[in-house]
Structure 1
Amino acid sequence: MRSPEDLLEGLDGEASSASMISGASSSSSPYQPTTEPVGGGQQRHGGRHHRRGAFLGCDPTYLAGTFGRLKIAQVVLALISFICIETIMECAPCEGLYFFEFVSCSASVVTGVLLLMFGLNLHERIPQINWNITDLVNTGLCTIFFFIASLVLAALNHKKAAEIAAVIFGFLATAVYAVNSFLAVKNWRINSRQQNTRQTSDYMRARTESRDVDHHPEIERLDG
């Protein structure tokens, strides 16, 4: 027969082994609720901030794409037009020159800002603004005003080389802005059509499911 001391040692061994098994099963079970310390939450929160900060950087996909190249060409042409018109020291009359100067300067600044916003992913920092519509409005207005300014300057030019160059670059900028506006409107229509199709399909699916429930009330009773 086993002594009382041996029985106690056996019970202690079984208890310890049972506790080890239960601890292992609880730690390996995927359905156990997991809790993290406060420090872990702070680290994860900091990591989330770090991922947001990763948006700040050059976006080669946009810059190498069609709209990125068009935006770069717009800034370059508008800036060259402004430089050409700034080299003219004498004019009479000067209204056409001043108007072209204002249009080329404004277009280069606003388009340059939009290029930075899209090229560096800064527009994702301000989701409250619809940047696609903003860009479309800018390209449309620049197309109209650059065309008018170039036409007026061509009609009132004084046969100077800088003035002729400004007119040429002004019409080139008008063409680039017009192409950008056309492509932007085309993409906007395609996206709107896809969104309407998706909404229609969701509506038809919901109506079909409601009709199935009306024709088969036992389905609703089973779900309840």
Structure 2
Amino acid sequence: MVGPSRAEPPGSGETASSEDTGASSPYQPTTEPVRSMDVFGSVRCDLQYLRSHFGILKAVEVILSLMAFICIETVMTCSPCSAIYLFEFVSCSTFIVTGVFLLIFGLNLHTKVPQVNWSLTDLVSTASCTVSFFLASVVLAALNHQNGAEILAVIYGFVVMVVYGVNTYLAVQRRRLGEQCPLQASEYMRARTASRGEVETQPELQ
């Protein structure tokens, strides 16, 4: 004897089919995690920059600025102290600014903000550090108290000023070459685009 068939509640079949469809659907909400992984995955250490003249000069500038700051911090007594305060501010600020630029270029972070002219920004920053260390070192040399730490800070100041000056000169030369050779730069970008398999749209000739 066959028992009465149990009727399914209305809409249950549709719910089950919709759940199965949702489970097997390839469209899953994974857009945001993938985007964040792509952002962090593109950050890499640029060994080519770190081994270049500009990378080496940046690293030397950071080290010398830190050494100059440490030397001036060891001075315990001063009268007047204006020269020491000036040198302390210059050495600390240049150490921070140059260290930030070293991280930005060394990790290719500047490619994330292409709206900024990083070449010009680095040139202005390096030239400003050169002038700042020159003024701070001259003032400290003129008003120092023949203290060993002050004399050593002056030496570090003039040395790092020379390094900043060389960096500024090379940055100016690089900028001049970039302005004189725009065709070579465009050919490089075109070859780089072609190597990636991208197709550039060329305007049709009338």
Q: TM-score, normalised by structure 2?
A: 0.71
Amino acid at match of 1:90: T
Match of 1:156 among 131, 143, 148: 143
Match of 1:55 among 32, 39, 42: 42
Q: Which runs of 5+ in 1 are unaligned?
A: 1-37, 200-222
Shift of 1:57: 1.9
Give CA-to-partner distance per residue, 1:81-120, whole Å, 9 cap, x none: 0110011011011111111111001100000000000111
The answer for the alignment partner of 1:113 in structure 2 is 100
Cα distance in 2 for partners of 1:90, 1:134 equals 38
- Report whether the alignment pairs 1:83 with 2:44: no
**Cα distance change of structure 1 residues 62 and 170 upon mapping to structure 2, 3 Å threshold:** same
What secondary structure does 1:58 align onto?
coil
Shift of 1:187: 0.5
Cα distance in 1 for partners of 2:56, 2:40 equals 25
Shift of 1:123: 1.1
Give CA-to-partner distance per residue, 1:151-202, whole Å, 9 cap, x none: 1101111111110110000001100000000000001000001127989xxx
Cα distance in 2 for partners of 1:101, 1:39 equals 60
The answer for the alignment partner of 2:15 in structure 1 is none
Q: What's the RMSD between the two structures over aligned residues?
A: 2.6
Q: Which runs of 5+ in 2 are unaligned?
A: 1-24, 187-204
Task: Say whether the 8 Å CA contact 2:178–2:185 is kept in structure 1.
Answer: no
Task: Say whether the 8 Å CA contact 2:134–2:158 is kept in structure 1.
Answer: yes
Pick the structure with more helix per residue.
Answer: 1
Cα distance in 1 for partners of 2:52, 2:104 equals 15
Identity across aligned pairs (percent)?
Answer: 49
- Report whether the alignment pairs 1:129 with 2:116: yes
Amino acid at match of 1:178: G
The answer for the alignment partner of 2:126 in structure 1 is 139
- Report whether the alignment pairs 1:69 with 2:56: yes
The answer for the alignment partner of 1:187 in structure 2 is 174
Amino acid at match of 1:170: G
If you compute each CA radius of gyration, which structure gives the higher value, 1 or 2?
1
Amino acid at match of 2:91: S
Shift of 1:55: 2.8
What secondary structure does 1:127 align onto?
coil
Q: TM-score, normalised by structure 1?
A: 0.66
Cα distance in 1 for partners of 2:107, 2:47 equals 9
Cα distance in 1 for partners of 2:40, 2:26 equals 21
The answer for the alignment partner of 1:103 in structure 2 is 90
The answer for the alignment partner of 1:32 in structure 2 is none
Match of 1:93 among 80, 87, 91: 80
